[in-house]
Chains A and B, each alone.
Chain A
Amino acid sequence: MTTLPYQRIIRPMAVLLAVVVWSVGLQAATVTFKRGNVQIQKGEAASWKAASRKQTLSEGDVIRTDANAEAIVELSAGHKFTIRPKTTFRFDILKDAQSQFTLIMGRLRAYAAKMKTGTKFEVRTPIAAASVRGTLFEMEVFEDQTSRLSVLEGVVSLRDLAGIGQEVQVMKDQSVTVEPGAAPRPPEIIPQELREGVVPTEGQRDAEFAFKSEIQREMGLSAFKDIFQTDAAQEMKVAQYQEGKTVIDAFGKRVRIEEYIVRPAANEWSFVALNTREDRFDFTRFDVYAKNALPEDIGSVNLFSGTGHNSMTNWVEKTHRLSSNGEDYYREWQVGGNPVNMTDANGNNPVQKVVFSDWYVELRSQSNAPVLVSHWQPDPAYSGGNYDATKTRDRNPADGSADFPSGYIDFEGADAGTTVGDFRKVDSDGFTNAQRLDFFDNATVQASYVVTEGYTRSKRVILDDVNYQTYIANGDTAGALNSKKISAFSTYTVPGGTDITIQVDQYYFNDAGDKLNLLQASSLGSNLQGVNYQTVFSSSLTGNRKIDVVISPSLLQKAGLLNN
């Protein structure tokens, strides 16, 4: 630390010098900022020397700047000049009561501090003079000595030194030009770049005003970049909406839907739909196990039916569907699928349809043991026979059942008397692929269905909230087939215990979101393509908690849950 730092020595000295000068009625003019080549001539006869920061100027001194150079000179009375590039500026009078300067060439910005009454502050050009007080203004002298005054704050008086015209009061945001040998022109609005800084230059840095302009500009440049960055985030959100992965329902609640394809093995294909809504989570999973390997794109593959006898080269052998609200689940699975040749009632239109040897439905409440609800087997009249004759046939009108799914008969009717359902030990926490395969293939598990320890069931089918029996009683078959809400309400009598009730409401929709009636739905069969489901399960076993899986947003719309 052998040198004396400016802050501790030079500046206090400069301040002290300023005080001394001020005390004898002179102002101190100090170079407070410089950039580039700035020179000072100490009197007319002196040579030009490089200016230094904090250099003091006296009366008669001249300062000039090169291209891309600038300087700020501050006076002890508070006046301030920003001397722009290619400018020559002289300090004529630096008295306390009078300040006079001459802009010989170039351009500067002047700030004149408020002064005592009687004091004078004047900036001249070779042909004009501006008298000011408490103002901020821009003064320019062009090569032909044409001078222009632009006022940014306050009022400035301007006169031509030749005395040709009258003194002009130049107001804020006005600009007045004086040409050699002419009176001042009428005031004009100042150039845009002076007022708003649209043309940012190094010449705009005079003290706070210029610094703020710089801040404003830097913030603008940063905002420009910020737009790209936030737009990128916004795009991610928009994509979620566009793909229907999130929607807002009619109640203003968030609904999220995700649908996935999983391919556990070459011949397996799974569809998974996950759904959160109103603090609840539901999901469904539909697994298809084909006879042979499936192509990567299964969009056009039909594993359930084919046109013409012996037309199917690949078909579904097993299916598994699981729907859960995270606590309870409804599970349905089919096994033993094989294509069967069929014709219509007249023996025409040969088709091949997959018929499963067994169709199971199971329900489970939280951590309780699962209950086998239904076990269906193919209707002998359907299997290999005339499909048209069976698909809308009600096998036993007296029981109120529409025998849905058509073509299959209730296991109880086929073999097990009046009992169906049993308690079995199955996988309890989640359903891994291995567990599902085990469920279908394990001989012990399969064999457990033979041991039927179910309950006596009474079942009602309700179509559009009307008991199916009513349609039967009224002979209104068309009304039944036009129904769009299919509700199966079953009651299982538990000896010595509480009866179990199960209600399954099922809706079918096409891609347009239109509800399909019973007749239309039955025509879809088990074809995966173009079918949308909404199934609502509830049971006394689950405390009537619903499992309500929305697979497609269009379902929400048609259910009146979407605003669109």
Chain B
Amino acid sequence: MKKLTLFSVVLIGGIGVSSAWAEVKYAPYVNSELYVGQSRFSGNDASPVSSMNGSVVVVPGLRLSDRLSLLPSLSYGYRKARDVQELVGGSFLSQQQQTASLGLKTVYVLKPGLKAKLTVSRRQEMLKETSDETWGNGLFDYDKNALGMELEKEGTFLRSLRVGVDYYAVRFPNFQTLASKYYGTEINSGKDVLDFNAADVSLGGDLLLAPGRMLSLAAVGSSRDYYDQKIVSRGGTYSADERSDSFYYLSAGYRHQLPELVVWIWKMESLGGLDVSYASLNSNQNNYDAGRTTFNQNYYDYTEIGFGPRVNTRWNGKLTAGLAMMWNFRDYADRPVQNADGTYKTGTSISNTVNTLRWTVGYPLWRGLSLQAQGAFQNADSNMDYETVYRYNYSSSHFFLGFTYQL
């Protein structure tokens, strides 16, 4: 009797579970890419460096009900060379990077046109920048754990309105100050000075101005707390206060479906766009150049504006080609310019201008598999002349050929 009861429970439970599972809609989403190519830097060594990068994102999406969807995600990326937009001085091209992330996004339909989302994620980035670094021991390896919530309202004119709050913690497990590691407590600059906790508030919206005309707006405010980075004083010593930054970002992107053009046998449809952005960082941290006994107040504060047009085209419904240009201007209001020998100029602050041109060409081969080529050219110009440790003036480019696959 006992066995029968147990069997019944298992059977009924099994039916129930299987029936419930039958309600679940499952949709695997895969987005992957693999590229090989060359990168070139105008600095000390103009010869190209072979490069390879690839990434894969897998999302086994689950729609549990009309209202509830779960989007677990797993992604991995590898890059042998940095992107042109990630340049820092010295041997930059030799960097290898692995990125792995795990996330779960829950989307719940509160009522038609209104969704609530909850996201938890963990991202781990490993770097091999030098010949004496191994995977997992890179100085600038970091982990990021994030928790986010978002409400999205969908409508007709205002196609999407999103309000979100995100909290995340960034840790550099292999980076501690030399002072804390080797020198004891006399220098109280802090130990894990790169680590921070942050809270972001974001607002985003997509406006369908007219058929084929979309305006996307975004605003982000971020508060970052560097809980172990002490404030440096005018005399070069450290106070008990910790660094705290405020970051603001505004952007607008306009997309316009352009009239179709027919040239001989080619039909070209195109989507034009224009992007503008503004960013501002305000920090209570200063800088003290001990080697030159120079105090630089508000060293990290900057404002940046960006502007750029873009166009994406499709030819005969197959061949795609895109071109985008971006102009960024960053001004460090209180970071003084240094001469080539490192001495400080007075009355001038650092301003950097970066121009980037990107192009892509793609052709669908079979189902979600496409052949892709992409390239970029970047030119950076600055009034900063001291480039012993960091390149402010350079040009770089890369060209990649590869495949993308989307399931």
Chain A positions within 8 Å of B, measured between CB atoms, are 5, 7-8, 11-12, 33-36, 53, 67-69, 172-174, 188-189, 191-193, 198-202, 207-208, 211-212, 214-216, 218-219, 221-222, 224-226, 228-230, 232-244, 246-248, 251-254, 256, 258-264, 271-276, 278-279, 281, 283, 295-299, 326, 430, 432-433, 510-513, 528-530, 532, 551-554, 557, 562-564
Contact = CB atoms under 8 A, between A and B. Distances in A.
Main secondary structure of the interface of A (DSSP, over half): mixed
A564 B139 contact: no
Contact of B212 (A11, A192, A259, A563): A192
B73 to A, nearest CB: 7
Interface in B308-357: 314, 317, 340-343
Contact of B183 (A271, A272, A278, A511): A272
Interface string B76-99: 000000000010111100100000
A248 B235 contact: no
A238 B214 CA distance: 35
Given A11-B19, A229-B144, A247 B94 contact: no
Interface stretch (B32-40, B46-54, B55-63, B372-380): B55-63
B66 A33 contact: yes
A292 to B, nearest CB: 16
Nearest to A256: B178
Given A225-B200, A248-B129, A511-B292, A238 B71 contact: no
A199 B16 contact: no
Interface of B: 15-16, 19-20, 22-23, 25, 27, 29, 31, 43-45, 57, 59, 61, 63, 66, 69, 71, 73, 86, 88-91, 94, 103, 105, 107, 109, 112-113, 117, 119, 121, 123, 125, 129-133, 139-140, 142, 144, 146, 148, 150, 154, 156, 159-160, 162, 164, 166, 168, 170, 172, 177-179, 182-184, 186-187, 189, 194, 196, 198, 200, 202, 204, 206, 208, 211-212, 214, 218, 220, 222, 224, 233-237, 247, 249, 255, 257, 260, 267, 269, 271, 281, 287-295, 300, 314, 317, 340-343, 387-391
Contacts, number: 284
B20 A7 contact: yes
Contacts of A512: 340-342
B287 A8 contact: no
Given A279-B132, A283-B183, A232 B196 contact: yes
Contacts of A229: 144, 146, 166, 168, 170, 198, 200
A253 B61 CA distance: 44
Q: Which 10 pairs, one residue from A and one from B, show the smallest C-beta to C-beta distance?
A: A261-B236, A512-B341, A7-B19, A259-B290, A252-B131, A244-B389, A296-B235, A274-B178, A173-B317, A299-B293
Contact of A554 (B133, B170, B211, B342): B342
Nearest to B290: A259
A5 B88 CA distance: 62
Contacts of B107: 214, 218
Given A7-B20, A512-B342, A529-B293, A564 B260 contact: no
Given A236-B172, A299-B293, A511 B23 contact: no
B392 to A, nearest CB: 9
A238 B388 CA distance: 14
A247 B271 contact: no
15 contacts: A5-B16, A7-B19, A36-B112, A172-B317, A212-B29, A219-B29, A232-B224, A234-B86, A253-B130, A256-B139, A259-B291, A272-B290, A297-B235, A511-B292, A528-B293
A254 B187 CA distance: 23
A219 B342 contact: no
A232 B198 contact: yes
A127 B31 CA distance: 41
A563 B59 contact: no
Contact of A219 (B59, B113, B182): B59
A230 B390 contact: no
B90 A262 contact: no
A202 B287 contact: no
A8 B112 contact: no
A260 B123 contact: no
A550 B78 CA distance: 34
A460 B15 CA distance: 95
A529 B211 CA distance: 67
A244 B388 contact: yes
Given A189-B317, A219-B57, A254-B139, A7 B16 contact: yes
B154 A242 contact: no
A35 B112 contact: yes
B249 A228 contact: yes
B208 A261 contact: no
Given A228-B222, A247-B389, A199 B214 contact: yes
Contacts of A189: 260, 267, 269, 314, 317
Q: Which one of A215, A246, A275 has the highest number of Cβ atoms from chain B below 10 Å of its Cβ?
A: A215
Contacts of B343: 511
Contacts of B71: 215, 218-219
Given A222-B105, A248-B130, A253-B131, A326 B182 contact: yes
Contacts of A553: 388-389
Given A188-B260, A211-B27, A228-B200, A262 B187 contact: yes
A262 B186 CA distance: 8
Contact of A261 (B69, B133, B168, B288): B288
Contact of A200 (B160, B194, B202, B237): B160
A38 to B, nearest CB: 11
Contacts of A273: 290-291
Nearest to B302: A235
Contacts of B281: 235
A557 B388 contact: yes
Contacts of A174: 317
Given A189-B267, A247-B89, A278-B132, A296 B300 contact: no
A523 B200 CA distance: 55
A456 B243 CA distance: 56
A236 B119 CA distance: 25
Given A228-B249, A433-B186, 8 more contacts: A11-B22, A189-B269, A198-B214, A215-B61, A218-B117, A232-B196, A238-B88, A254-B130
Contacts of B234: 296-297
A199 B207 CA distance: 9
Nearest to A271: B290
Nearest to A234: B86
A273 B179 CA distance: 9
B57 A246 contact: no
A432 B183 CA distance: 10
A296 B232 CA distance: 12
B154 A201 contact: yes
A564 B168 contact: no
Contacts of A5: 16
B131 A551 contact: no
A296 B235 CA distance: 5
A244 B338 CA distance: 13
A263 B235 contact: yes
A35 B66 contact: yes
A206 to B, nearest CB: 11
A239 B187 CA distance: 20
Q: Which one of A272, A278, A299 has the highest number of Cβ atoms from chain B below 10 Å of its Cβ?
A: A299
A259 B61 CA distance: 51
A237 B162 contact: no
A237 B66 contact: no
Contacts of A193: 212
Nearest to A239: B300
Given A299-B295, A532-B291, A274 B45 contact: no
A515 to B, nearest CB: 13
A261 B237 CA distance: 6
Contacts of A297: 234-235, 293, 295
Nearest to B342: A511
A36 B177 CA distance: 58
Contacts of A240: 140, 194
A233 B127 CA distance: 13
